[in-house]
Amino acid sequence: MICGGVDAGSRTIKAVLWDSRPGVVLGSGLVDQGVQQSRLARELFDRVRAQAGLDGRPVGPIVATGYARHTVDFAATTITEITCHAAGVHHLLGEARTVVEIGGQDSKLLRLGERGTVRDFAMNDRCAAGTGRFLEAVAARLGVGMEALGELACASHSPATISSMCVVFAETEIIGLLAGGTLPADIVAGVQNAIATRVAAMAGQGLDAPVAFTGGVALVGGMPQAISQALRMPVVVPPGPRMTGALGAAILASRLATAPAAR
């Protein structure tokens, strides 16, 4: 059965089409979030369906997840992003026992059981200092694109210390560092270390390996290394780290579709 998952995040909307019988992704895509969230989600899903050659063909249940999941009015039901990210990561990296997910406006740490069930989780959705929004603010302040942050971080020889844990105060601190002659590369490396330190504090003690690192921030050069150093253990970035929530939603949609037959 072909099912769908839509992850309506704070910064982007992601969609995945999943064929449960061979257990493969038929299509996926994403679009920037906007004011008309329902329309954007529907247009994205229709586009993914057309690109997969399924235009006009019925699709089974669609599950919506993410920050704006309740705006996806064509979904059969909604499931929290915690559960969906766990399901998506478990499919991609079945041995994962910890998931660090850093998106545009929140960060999560999940502890998983052997079958991908969530044993425990911690979430930061109150402050942007540990999220992609922090990196976006830094990129804007330095006048560079997000894709340049990784190159700058790798060029750093003396990462700056960013003590402020509020984005507003951290931006003021960065302005002071620039005025004092601190190199942009050292500022970026310092910001990445600050984000990683915040994640490590959220993690606490006793994390189990392997650790999967997902979300858009996982694609920023230097961040996987910063997270690994802060956690003092290796991290693995699975394929398509921005899509794990939508993938998990689609997988869970297929389970909902087959549940009646199982009883």
Q: What is the DSSP string of 119-141?
A: EEEEEE-S-GGGSHHHHHHHHHH
pLDDT of 260 strictly over 60 = no
**Quick one: pLDDT at residue 58?**
79
Place of tokens 């999941």: 69
**Quick one: pLDDT at residue 27?**
96
Average pLDDT over residues 79-94: 96
User: Residue 179 corresponds to which amino acid?
Assistant: A
Place of tokens 């059969």: 76
Q: What is the reported pTM? A: 0.91
**Quick one: pLDDT at residue 248?**
97
pLDDT of 263 strictly over 60 = no
- Residue 120: what are its φ and ψ, rounded to 5°? -165, 160
Question: What percentage of the chain carries pLDDT values higher than 70?
Answer: 96
**Quick one: pLDDT at residue 103?**
87
Q: Using only C-alpha atoms, what is the Rg of the chain?
A: 19
Question: Which two structure tokens, joined as six digits, stand for 70?
Answer: 């309740």
- Residue 14: what are its φ and ψ, rounded to 5°? -120, 145
The H or E element containing residue 43 is: helix 37-51
- Residue 137: what are its φ and ψ, rounded to 5°? -65, -40
pLDDT digits 0-9 by tens, 134-166: 888 889 889 998 889 999 999 999 999 887 767
**Quick one: pLDDT at residue 74?**
95
| Mean residue pLDDT across the chain | 90
Domains by residue range for the chain, with CATH: 1-93+239-263 (3.30.420.40), 96-237 (3.30.420.40)
Are 112 and 86 a contacting pair, CB within 8 Å? yes
Question: Which two structure tokens, joined as six digits, stand for 257?
Answer: 């579709």
Which has more pLDDT, 161 or 56? 161
Report how far residue 166's alpha carbon sits from residue 176's, in angstroms, rounded to the nearest whole number: 15
Average pLDDT over residues 203-217: 90
Which has more pLDDT, 170 or 12? 12
